[in-house]
Amino acid sequence: MCELFGYSSEHEQGLSRWLMPFRQRGGGNADNPDGWGVASWHDGVARLSKSSEAGFRSEQFARVADELSTRLAIAHVRKARHPPVPGMLNTHPFIHACCNREWVFAHNGMVPEVIAWQTTGPLCLPDGETDSEYAFCHLLTGIAEAYEQAQRPTWLTRLAQLTEKIAALGKFNFLLSDGQELIAYGHDRLHGLELDDESGRQVIIATEPLSDGPWQPFAARELRVYRDGRQIARLSGAAADSTAAR
């Protein structure tokens, strides 16, 4: 049911070591044949490559995986569920503008009831039909005011609260970025690998480990925020519940 890949580093790095095995998860050694996408940032500008074809046999994905060098990236391979057909508009990651930034989002799971929620309004209107993109727009709408006012504890707490509300509808593992920070939420299936070597600090996030090494599973309902390869914030589902109750 779809897989996620996220990357944050203090220095620009080539990602072939990670994206080549992730590409195989797109219908090769895992059942996610219904599209792929890779978003990355360069001089503050988001670039997106994606296709509705199976990632493991996509020559375009192979080129991206081999050539991409960046400090921040989000990638996705899709198993079509809602709607249950491939298509470019429904292929992750999604990009929407908010708060003078381009935000990128990719999701693993199903939360179809979120589509019936009250409209997200003009701030973020889905281009496709997926519950994932509707959830993305609800997240942006919920944090926009506090984010624009640079109220970090407030917008991050709001994000955690809304994440828990959407996760209650089904399964909601996701990656989100504003071009500076990588936000990862492990509802029930996400792994992280933190490296600190001659290349600098790096963190790799994936649904399933992509190599040997000390990958660590996220705790259930755990939200982490990374910047330049370092974890700068962590909220648990219980903490979000507690904050919402006050």
Opening angle at CA 112, ends 106 and 115, nearest 5: 90
Query: What's the mean per-residue pLDDT of the chain?
Result: 92
**pLDDT above 50: residue 85:** yes
pLDDT of residue 153: 84
DSSP element (H, E) containing 32:
none
Residues 178-203 pLDDT 10s = 999 999 999 999 999 999 999 899 99
Length of the chain (residues): 246
Residues 139-180 pLDDT 10s = 999 999 899 887 778 899 999 999 999 999 999 999 999 999
Q: Considering only CA atoms, which of 79, 99, 106 is closest in space to residue 183?
A: 106
Residues 96-108 pLDDT 10s = 999 899 999 999 9
What is the strand order of the sheet 200-206 is part of?
A: 45-51, 36-42, 69-77, 3-14, 200-206, 191-197, 216-217
Opening angle at CA 167, ends 127 and 24, nearest 5: 65
The pLDDT-based confidence of 244 (bands split at 50, 70, 90) is very low
**pLDDT above 80: residue 241:** no
The pLDDT-based confidence of 239 (bands split at 50, 70, 90) is low
- Ordered alpha helix ranges (H), 168-236: none
**pLDDT above 60: residue 135:** yes
Give the separation between CA 191 and CA 181, rounded to whole angstroms: 18
**pLDDT above 60: residue 243:** no
Contact 76, 4 (CB under 8 A): yes
Q: What's the CA dihedral at 61, 63, 69, 74 to 10 degrees?
A: 0
What is the arithmetic mean of pLDDT over 216-236?
96
Residues 6-63 pLDDT 10s = 999 999 999 999 999 999 999 999 999 999 999 999 988 999 999 999 999 999 999 9
Give the separation between CA 101 and CA 57, rounded to whole angstroms: 33
DSSP element (H, E) containing 232:
strand 230-236
* Token digits of residue 8: 């944050």
Residue linked to tokens 């955690």: 160
